[in-house]
Amino acid sequence: MKLLFNLSGEHPELPKAEIFAVLEGEGIAYKIYSENEENRILILDVDIQNPLFIKRLAMTKRAGDFIGISKDLTELAQKLYDRMSNGTFAVESESQTIREKLGEEIWKHGFNVDLLTPDARVLCFRDNNHCYNIAIETPLERDFAERKPQNRPYFHPTSIDPKIARVLVNLARIGKNDRLLDPFCGTGGILIEAGLMGMKLFGYDIDERMVEGCIENLKYCGLSGEIREGDALKLTPEEKVDAIVTDPPYGRSSFMTERNIEKFYEDFLTSASKVLDSGKYLVMILPDSSDLKTDKFEVKENYSLYVHKSLTRKIFVLRRK
């Protein structure tokens, strides 16, 4: 089947990278059918009939079952008629004129308009070639605001934003029931997103209060995992996992100072390599100036992430050699 993705403009690379990583993690074969970077439209031909993976995505604005591309709305309305079941519909487009014109064409085929609770939402994007890209929407889960750190029982100012946490987990290329470890779990932001996607959760933190807070926050979200006090520099081969996703608490612990921070990262990667088999991924977010030195991993991807005018961080996607 073909799927249309309207990518977020939050980052120039991450929205597409997230989609490809999720598909790889889910073991879904795909190829690019069409791409319009200027209009942030990506259409993929995927080897799957039930695209549940779409619900995992954090940096996709809208997505759906692709119907067609044409300059003729009448032609596209006919294609929609061939694919839609009897029921109500609504058209979503940035242009009121397009909404009205396409809506009228669909209405001519006997479908009724329902702007509030339609049976199908039709997405229409006009690209810079004056073509209309049409899809029947697959709803995305957009409840990140409800999981903001300040809304959880245990709060700490270093807590990661849930949308970024979701992206980090997705970049790790894992699926439901895979084992994910956050060895600097803090208040549990990364583990919460992984748990909501069905992964098995393992978390360590050197701070006992953080461990207690993480367990409390997981419980608040209806989740559980193996969370305990532990040193990320002392992982052992008996603790094998499918991926590590983490946000090291730069500046929070006494052993992490400007003087020894690079050595700390090097020691951590050596420790992390013990619990990941070859080909498995470690995703971590670090200060933008960080430089990783390791012979245990290869850097597959890295992305600069603007936080605010005085802070940019870097996402590293590492694969175990």
Task: Give mean pLDDT, residues 96-111.
Answer: 96
Query: Is 153 found in the same domain as 131?
Result: no
Task: Give mean pLDDT, residues 140-149.
Answer: 90
Q: Contact 185/223 with Cβ under 8 angstroms?
A: no
Q: Which domain holds residue 198?
A: 144-320
Q: Residue 22 sits in a domain of what CATH number?
A: 3.30.2130.30
Query: Is 304 found in the same domain as 165?
Result: yes
Query: Is 151 found in the same domain as 79?
Result: no
Q: Per residue in 50-97, pLDDT tens?
A: 899 999 999 999 999 999 999 999 999 999 999 998 889 999 999 999
pTM flag (> 0.85): yes
Whole-Å CA distances, 77 to 1, 67, 87: 19, 10, 15
Q: Residue 184 sits in a domain of what CATH number?
A: 3.40.50.150
Query: Is 43 found in the same domain as 151?
Result: no
pLDDT for 257 beyond 80: no
Query: Is 71 found in the same domain as 220?
Result: no
Which among 103, 137, 171 is the end of a domain? 137
Query: Is 167 found in the same domain as 76?
Result: no
- Which tokens go with 37? 């970077």
Report how many domains make up the chain.
2
Query: Is 170 found in the same domain as 271?
Result: yes
